[in-house]
Amino acid sequence: MKYRLKRALLCALALWLTAALLLGAEAGAPNAGAGTRFYFVQITDTHFGDRDHLERTRRLVEQINRLPYEIVCVVHTGDIFADNITDAGVRDAGLGVLGRLKAPLHLLPGNHDILEKDIETTAAAYTRHIGPLSRQAEYHGVVFILAYTEPLAMGFAVNGYDTLRELESALKRSVGKPVLLFHHRPAVDDYYEFAGSPAWNPAARAALEERLAAYDVKAVITGHFHRDELHWVGGRPVFAAPPVAGYWGRQASFRLYEYRDGQLSYRTVYLRE
């Protein structure tokens, strides 16, 4: 009798401990901890209004829509247009093609969208027809920050917009959650014509690295170079994706990313002939 009672008490204690551990793990686990896995797509540098880039994008959109994965979103990392955002025909045609994507679409501006030589007009066109210069979204507990960093990188001003202040504010809102940062121009020197050329002002790059170091930024995702490259900034990987546009003989492509347990990997997917 005593043996059966002791055994029953031990079983009850074991069940209680198991339940407590499970509840404690659930309560204390981060939103994007172990077991978090999802896919998203990046496209970049479509340069609508030049060459066959609209048709290339249309075909890539169809290809993305047929992916055998659940895609949480598509992020366009800038240079949507080819210095022609104020041309309503080009703008409407390009946005119309992107609007065929089945997954939610997020866009950010590049140097060929908001033009340094015509800041006021092109920035107003962007905000009026596309949206805010910086955005934030969240998927499966991972914060996506889309930042317009050209003014910081190249040292010019946009009325009413401060890159570091916007970025700092977005990062503070993400405290306790992993972050993926998207912007257009990688904060590294550009390898062009077999020689390195400065892509960011050194002080601006240092300011960006300081912000990255203070938060749980898992990776930085960019375009601009029209090449497939990997860099490191502030100890974070910087994935520079190849373009949709066909300059320098480039084949149109997009990136399929997998976020799994706090790590990011990708495949570059090319336009099918």
Q: What is the pLDDT of residue 35?
A: 83
Enumerate residues 6+ apart whose C-beta is below 8 A from 250: 226, 242, 243
| Encoded tokens for 24 | 């404690």
Nearest alpha-carbon partner for 74 in 51, 34, 109, 102: 102
DSSP 3-state of 13 = helix
pLDDT at res. 192: 73
Q: For residue 25, how many C-alpha atoms fall within 13 Å in the half-sphere facing its CB?
A: 9
The pLDDT tens digits for 201-210 are 899 999 999 9
Q: What is the predicted pLDDT for the residue at 31? A: 56
HSE toward the beta carbon, residue 89, CA cutoff 13 A: 2
Which tokens belong to 21? 């551990």
What is the per-residue pLDDT across 100-158, written as a single tens digit (0 to 9) for each?
999 999 999 999 999 999 999 999 999 999 999 999 999 999 999 999 999 999 999 99
Q: Which stretches of the chain are DSSP H helices?
A: 2-28, 53-65, 88-98, 119-129, 150-154, 163-173, 202-213
